[in-house]
Amino acid sequence: MPDFFNDFKIVSMKNILNKRIIGLLISLIFIVIIANQIDIDKTIKSFGFMNPIFIVPIIPIYLISFILRAFRWRILLNKEDLQFSSLLSSIFIGFSLNCVLPARTGEIYRAYFFSKKEKLSKTKVFTSVILERVFDGLTLFLMLIFAIYFICPGDLFFKIAFSAGIMFLSGFIFLMILVKTKESGNKREQLRKLLAKISSFKNLPLKIKDFNENFLNKIFTIINSFIEALDSLNSWKLLGKSVLYSCFIWLMEGAFMLLVINSFGLHFSLLNALLVLSVTAFSTLIPAGPAGIGPYQWGYIIALKVFGIEPELGLAISIINQLLSILLILVAGFFSIWKNSLNWGEIKENLQEKQSSHGYYTNQ
């Protein structure tokens, strides 16, 4: 079956630049909002509360979360013979690029790089990345609901949980419906022929008929190829493993955040940290600059307010948390780029190649 990822269009450099500018503006707006609500001098002094000894266990815990991501990715790809080192290095490369590029471009490059390296269908790899995001969103949603039930922090967090639940639950249900249509291939083909027949109405000009037919064929090829790549959702065993790994991944992320918060002399529980983690993770869904700077700090501050933490201290903790995660992933990512004999020029060239006449370029 043709590979729809070969026709997947990434925005052109001009559009990427526009998105970067918009993202930076959104980040700037959040930074201004936060700056107007805090005492900068007090925030600077808050950094002195941190005990650097906590960094020692933070590093292995954060790296373990990525090892778990690699195991989960292999499950979602439903291919046991994939090299673990290749999975892990591709994840590091993708996440490190997300720290410096807008619109999560690193995820797209990760799928491109891994599919090329392992000679896999780009559709299958890209679909597995989408599944990762859905499982992550669902896991965080459940963790937030669990934390709200026991902590009961207020209406704002119920609204965040409700919005996240609608988004990720509906996405998961939609994917499951697509999987079930795999068993109805004949019906889908009949629908395609019916739409093609309607689009080729006898009074239409020949060029329009040809365009409609080609367009519909392309759309159905994309849909069929995407559905074929959802193999792991057809197995309850693989589905259960994916859910289990997702829970452990975010428990590790929660432990990472717990250590950062407690390094400032606080005494948080893991449940409290999971509430903060969920809120900050969902806050980064707001389009912003690289690494979600701005919305991330805003989410962190409002989550810590539930526990009586002042915004100044909350901002200091959020900066340290994000700085540590970015530094760790950049080090791992640059090491993986070096190990795979890549360079920034090659990565940039791959992201820009085959720019189309519509102002887009395609990953081949």
- Tell me the mean pLDDT in the region 207-216: 57
pLDDT value at position 12?
44
Q: Which of 118-122, 272-276, 333-337 has the lowest mean pLDDT?
A: 118-122
Question: What integer best gives the mean pLDDT of the chain?
Answer: 82
User: Which H or E run contains 124?
Assistant: helix 122-151
CA 309 to centroid of chain Cα atoms: 29
Residues in the chain: 364
| Token pair listed for 84 | 């673990």
pLDDT value at position 1?
44
CA 63 to centroid of chain Cα atoms: 17
| Token pair listed for 342 | 């890549």
pLDDT value at position 230?
82
pLDDT value at position 188?
55
SS3 355: strand
Taken in order 179, 183, 185, 188, the sign of the CA dihedral is negative
Q: Give the pLDDT band of residue 121 (cuts 50, 70, 90).
A: confident
Structural domain including 232 reads 4-362
Contacts of 281 (CB under 8 A, 6+ apart): 136, 140, 299
Tell me: the pLDDT tens digits for 212-244? 556 666 666 666 677 777 878 888 899 999 999
Instruction: Tell me how far apart the alpha carbons of residues 185 and 227 are, in angstroms, rounded to a whole number.
Output: 10
Phi, psi angles (nearest 5°) of residue 205: -60, 150
% of the chain exceeding 90 in pLDDT: 46
Closest of 201, 213, 207, 141 to residue 172, by C-alpha: 141
Residue indicated by tokens 């609608």: 166
Tell me: the pLDDT tens digits for 137-148? 999 999 999 988
- Counting the structural domains of the chain, the total is 1
- Tell me the mean pLDDT in the region 142-164: 85
Contacts of 153 (CB under 8 A, 6+ apart): 147, 275, 306
Q: Give the pLDDT band of residue 9 (cuts 50, 70, 90).
A: very low
- Tell me the mean pLDDT in the region 240-251: 96
Instruction: Tell me how far apart the alpha carbons of residues 305 and 171 are, in angstroms, rounded to a whole number.
Output: 31
CB 107 within 8 Å of CB 291: no
